[in-house]
Structure 1
Amino acid sequence: MTLQRSDKVRAVVGVTSNRLLVDGVHRDWLRRKYVKALLHHAGVACVILPTIDAEDARVEVARAIMGALDGLVLTGDESNIDPAVLKAPASYPGADQQDVEDGLRDRPRDRLSAVAIGRAIALGMPILGICRGLQELNVHFGGTLHPSLAEWRLGSALMHAEKPDRPRDRQYDAAHTVRICSDGGLFPIARVIEAQVNSLHNQGIKALATALKPEAWAPDGLVEAASVIGAPTLQIGVQWHPEWHVSTDLLSKRLFTAFGEACVAYCQTKKH
């Protein structure tokens, strides 16, 4: 069975979901902001990718789905990454640990990202990592994370953390500037060397993987964007959330547009 595309649907991208555990019931979930931004500003259709349990990590379903897609979006989430699981998705948690703990860990998501990133890289398809997605790319390629920015620098923790005293939509207002590398892949998209971005994350890149090129930095030196070196298409991650104010923020709009164009180009190469 193959995905049927109408003439109006030019590309289909996979979007990573997260695992939610409520009253002992497991659910996969995704914020609509990602879907809306991709539909209206990247011009692509979306397939929501389900999270993966340890016993299912070797099943080929997720890999088969990836082969039918034209791009991958690694979404954000409040949970911290478990690097051991992301590097070995079939691994089980210890007997005294839960796979899912609200706001702390989401190993089913880690497994999904491990499989999806591996296939996307192997297939040479466009990748857009957002917040947690940037960190997942870094860990996938052998980089490391600060487990908690609060333990790294107090000022950094304040700069990058959620602002719980604000309404939810105002938490995604600009929080700090980023300096964009003038000879990287982000600069031709952003067309500026400095921009204002939002910031809502607890972890951050400690050592950038050697396979990644830094594309932007926060005032405290934290890497805020990185791209895959030598990629055949746009494969990039950003630490901020461009999906939130994409209709009014020029950098966000340009980023989604560029990703959509890369997905269309990839889709067209598959037809030949």
Structure 2
Amino acid sequence: MTLQQSVPARAVVGVTSNRLLVDGVHRDWLRRKYVQALQRHAGVACVILPTVDAEDAREEVAPAIMGRLDGLVLTGDESNIDPAVLIAPASLTGPDRQDVEAAILDRPRDRLSAVAIESAIALGMPILGICRGLQELNVYFGGTLRPSLAEWSHESGAMHAEKPDRPRDRQYDAAHSVRISSDGALFPIAGTVEAQVNSLHNQGIEALASALRREAWAPDGLVEAASVVGAPTLQIGVQWHPEWHVSTDPLSKQLFKAFGEACVRYCRTKK
């Protein structure tokens, strides 16, 4: 028996990276928490998807990569979304454009997410959006974002903001409750209509896209989870960070498990 025969094949998912500009050098990067959670709790293998420059956005690279994958993970990041770029990834090609500004702007990531979501939806593959990833799904389908939750509501800003006075891993402790729709895609995964989640984000959903269904919401009414209406598989985004304490948080563990199972089922349909 060969090694290839003895080791069961794993579903393979694409994980979005972010652009980092240091000393004039462009780098793609990704927090290990996502990869660890996906490998250990979703049971999938990971391929890190590179960010996209404007001049490359028209090339048919994404379909070639996505067609080999069994799922897509849209990761979180501190940068805000540029809706114009995510909706039209080949725009803003001028040499004087400012594409990357730490913790503020990441247009190469916007372009990557745009082409990856387009391919994943066309292929009918599982999608898991996390924090920025949920917001990307909403913008891609025509929804809008609140530029600043603190400007929308002082209480909401405090509820959803980072907690800089805490150690980094403690910033990802549960921050508020969410109410989960009893007849949606998240309820069978969560097994409850209420849960505690962590929260570290400055922007949030303003108008939910008509192609998305509200799955969970915070006490202030902010959409905390949404799924793609009529999806052939699990295509969902959450505003919180399930990857951070997945080994101890039941909801996080169940979410990654459900996503992994959806990826395996999708993988089997391709054989």
TM-score, scaled to structure 1: 0.96
Tell me the equivalent position of 1:246.
246
Deviation at 1:7, TM superposition (A): 3.9
Aligned positions of 1:15-54 closer than 5 A: 15-54=15-54
Cα offsets for 1:78-127 (capped at 9, x unmatched): 00000000000001166664100001010000000000000000000000
> Is the 1:189–1:258 Cα contact (8 Å) retained in structure 2?
yes
Tell me the equivalent position of 2:92.
92
Tell me the equivalent position of 1:185.
185
Counterparts of 2:218 and 2:12, CA distance in 1: 32
Tell me the equivalent position of 1:120.
120
> Is the 1:39–1:46 Cα contact (8 Å) retained in structure 2?
yes
> Is the 1:9–1:44 Cα contact (8 Å) retained in structure 2?
no
Counterparts of 1:7 and 1:228, CA distance in 2: 34
Counterparts of 1:133 and 1:115, CA distance in 2: 13
Counterparts of 2:262 and 2:81, CA distance in 1: 27
Tell me the equivalent position of 2:203.
203
Tell me, what secondary structure is at the counterpart of 2:262? Answer: helix
Aligned positions of 1:1-272 closer than 5 A: 7-92=7-92, 97-271=97-271
Tell me, what secondary structure is at the counterpart of 1:98? Answer: coil
Counterparts of 1:240 and 1:264, CA distance in 2: 24
> Is the 2:55–2:93 Cα contact (8 Å) retained in structure 1?
no
Cα offsets for 1:53-89 (capped at 9, x unmatched): 0000011122210000000000000000000000000
* Letter in structure 2 aligned against 1:231: A
Which consecutive segments of 4 or more residues in structure 1 shift more than 3 A?
A: 4-7, 93-97
> Is the 2:14–2:72 Cα contact (8 Å) retained in structure 1?
yes
Deviation at 1:153, TM superposition (A): 0.5
Tell me, what secondary structure is at the counterpart of 2:8? Answer: coil
Deviation at 1:9, TM superposition (A): 2.9
Count of residue pairs brought into register by the alignment: 268
> Is the 1:126–1:233 Cα contact (8 Å) retained in structure 2?
yes
> Is the 2:62–2:119 Cα contact (8 Å) retained in structure 1?
no
Deviation at 1:215, TM superposition (A): 0.2
TM-score, scaled to structure 2: 0.97
Deviation at 1:203, TM superposition (A): 0.5
Deviation at 1:5, TM superposition (A): 9.6
> Is the 1:9–1:45 Cα contact (8 Å) retained in structure 2?
no
Counterparts of 1:5 and 1:46, CA distance in 2: 20
* Letter in structure 1 aligned against 2:140: H
Counterparts of 1:253 and 1:152, CA distance in 2: 32
Where does the alignment leave 5 or more consecutive residues of structure 1 unmatched? none
* Letter in structure 2 aligned against 1:132: R
Q: CA RMSD in A?
A: 1.3
Counterparts of 1:9 and 1:147, CA distance in 2: 43
* Letter in structure 2 aligned against 1:214: R
Tell me, what secondary structure is at the counterpart of 1:142? Answer: coil
* Letter in structure 2 aligned against 1:49: L
Counterparts of 1:141 and 1:56, CA distance in 2: 22
Counterparts of 2:5 and 2:39, CA distance in 1: 15
Counterparts of 1:123 and 1:134, CA distance in 2: 19
Deviation at 1:182, TM superposition (A): 0.3
Counterparts of 1:178 and 1:127, CA distance in 2: 21
Deviation at 1:207, TM superposition (A): 0.1
Counterparts of 2:152 and 2:135, CA distance in 1: 16
Counterparts of 1:260 and 1:100, CA distance in 2: 32
